[in-house]
Chain A
């Protein structure tokens, strides 16, 4: 079906065709932006949550995103432990034809479990990331609460490098393929679904990622908004001392908040593994952008982080369009920083920043 068809109606003229092609391009870039923004928002949400509660600028947060992705890689490695049959035609080194034991024992069921490794990893990642987050907070970061921000940045940045190198020593530097389940590894014809023609397709997994990001963001907000625990955390974010004077152990709750932030970053990483084959450096690639998101959204503001995440994701996608780059070459590489400069000049506390945060 041509791009100019809509719900059985024909649009033969070239101008209509062009309009629909442009519309397709805009819708696709909007989806790209939302998808990218979803990842930024999930990482920035945890960053700003930690900053808002504990006052710590956590540069190891990107490493948590990476560790999440490697939860999926690890589970994949475990599930694909294989029976090895030596390829006798190769004599100079050992090459094996590998068949996973799961497939040998359980046939198609075993193959399906391996195929669904990324969604299954979510279950594994939650306790692991919680444990990592709590251990990180109790073992290292709590010792730096009363230290200057510069020292917090140094120690967390160092921690990120240590975590990266540990992963590299186990898994190597190359990206590791971690595919989505076969049934949803292709593209959805959203054009047909929306009655916009056949040419509008978008990968299923990216749509799922967008939905997933929305659900996780909603869950975090609901948790903070509708539970007693959340109420205490929010109160602690406003005035930690007063909440402490009421006899509430704020510190313990904040440790759990750190664990929750780690889970959110980890889940973002698990789900991103099919889009970006994980490598040890992937967290650092996202960290800088996520910090810009937090600053643009307003330090310590949860809605601000989410709004800024999606805003910057969308702007980055549109700035990458050939038509835009033809007018402003190289804009795709600076748009995020340009927007950050403009917003900070007009709203120094960011989009939704609170007075008093980082202003001592």
Chain B
């Protein structure tokens, strides 16, 4: 009996000890170990000496050259994060937690995927990188359709997506996601920046004709440019949707000739822009007079890399761009120097945005002290920084859109080299392109998925 009692007492005491120890062990990280509450999340690197990032860029298809430039930028960013090379924008970035020894002391590695600029292919390669390669973050792309598709997947899988080149309002508007972040500007900002310049150059009494790529980005850009030009007093004669990759646009350009319009707005990007602009010039639109004025062509989103294909046809044509290598702020100079010395030519705007996105993600991990996505997201939300081109910038918490200065550019009339295609007409201040966070709709969704 006494033996039984002793055994029973010991058991109770032992149980209490073990319970106390377990509670202490369970609660200790909550108070003393930064980020330890996040022990279990997808692709947690744990004690591994390295972390992997997934660079999902178009390696085949029409945007392969732009994708190759994005990949160059990513490799440079990884180099700088790991403390190699000259450090690039790590030397100029403000509000920085990065130390140049990887991220949270772990070496940064990467895997690549090919989006093919197709939503399904991009999702497949992102899924492969997340499930098979164990990446902590996916980034890249050269299309809004792709960005929205991959962003949705990343939200489902609890992986942060740092968008590459995507310009549609929807990416941080109706399709915004808690796990998606965009550094690149959008069509609303293009319209707000370009409108006053168009007014100054072409006046208030204009009739515009839009040719629009028939997908999310085209619709978004058409809407934004119409909104801001109609505010000026311009009329919109017609807005015609053209199939993506139409090649020959003659059947869409000829109706412009006698439409009564005196401005053609080409809501086309990449190869479509090259083809439609080349053909519009061949149809004499730049030499034409309409309504007693010189006929004008506007390309609201310019890419220096892709504009090379249009040759001399871009001379004098107005548009906007996210960033250009000719900027003289310290951040841009540091990046152009790093990139130029590494590869022998200047970076594109796509390369710039991808490089910045990688550094921003890594910096947010350092700030959060963990790779746990909800905490990294919170570190990125509302983050203010400078020294990375485009002046003081903020990742707005409400929609994950970066706000910064926007460049209005014009095709250079007298380029001094093959890289000198765009002339910056105006650096439109951030305040002019900001808009209310709820204007574009959408719902970010939860932190924890």
Contact = CB atoms under 8 A, between A and B. Distances in A.
Contacts of A176: 309
B308 to A, nearest CB: 6
A242 interface: no
A321 B62 contact: no
A203 B340 CA distance: 40
Interface residues of A, number: 54
A186 B284 contact: yes
A279 B309 CA distance: 9
Nearest to A282: B247
24 contacts: A36-B250, A90-B417, A92-B346, A93-B336, A93-B340, A93-B341, A93-B346, A97-B417, A98-B417, A172-B64, A174-B65, A174-B271, A175-B271, A177-B310, A177-B311, A186-B282, A201-B284, A203-B284, A206-B250, A274-B282, A276-B278, A279-B62, A320-B252, A333-B243
B64 A168 contact: yes
A286 to B, nearest CB: 8
Interface string A285-327: 1100000000000000000000000000000110011100000
Given A177-B312, A277-B309, 6 more contacts: A90-B417, A94-B345, A175-B309, A279-B62, A285-B247, A286-B247
Interface stretch (B159-167, B176-184, B253-261, B427-435): B253-261
Those 4 A-B pairs whose CB atoms lie nearest each other, nearest first: A177-B311, A93-B340, A175-B309, A187-B284
Interface of A: 3, 21, 24-25, 28-29, 32-33, 35-36, 87, 90-98, 168, 172-177, 179-180, 185-187, 199, 201-203, 205-206, 274-277, 279, 281-282, 285-286, 316-317, 320-322, 332-333
Contacts of B311: 177, 179, 277
Interface of B: 61-65, 238, 240, 243, 245, 247-248, 250-252, 254-255, 257-258, 271, 274-275, 278-279, 282-284, 287, 305-306, 308-313, 333, 336-337, 339-341, 343-346, 416-420
Contacts of A187: 282-284, 287
A238 to B, nearest CB: 36
Contacts of A286: 247
Contact of B258 (A3, A33, A277, A321): A3
Contacts of A33: 251
A224 B275 CA distance: 36
Contact of B340 (A29, A92, A274): A92
A281 B62 contact: yes
A87 B345 CA distance: 13
A173 B282 contact: no
A21 B258 contact: yes
Contacts, number: 140
A173 B247 contact: no
Given A92-B340, A173-B61, A175-B275, A276 B247 contact: yes
Contacts of A35: 250
Contacts of A205: 282
Nearest to A320: B251
Nearest to B313: A177
B250 A25 contact: no
Q: Which interface residue of A92, A97, A185, A332 has the most chain B CB atoms within 10 A?
A: A92
B309 A177 contact: yes
Contacts of A185: 282
Nearest to B334: A92
Contact of A186 (B251, B287, B419): B287
B84 to A, nearest CB: 18
A93 B345 CA distance: 5
A173 B248 contact: no
Given A90-B417, A187-B282, A275-B279, A316 B251 contact: yes
Contact of A199 (B248, B257, B312): B257
A177 B309 CA distance: 5
Given A36-B250, A97-B416, A206-B250, A275 B282 contact: yes
A285 to B, nearest CB: 5
Contacts of B337: 91-92
Contacts of B313: 177
A317 B416 contact: no
A168 B68 CA distance: 12
Nearest to B311: A177
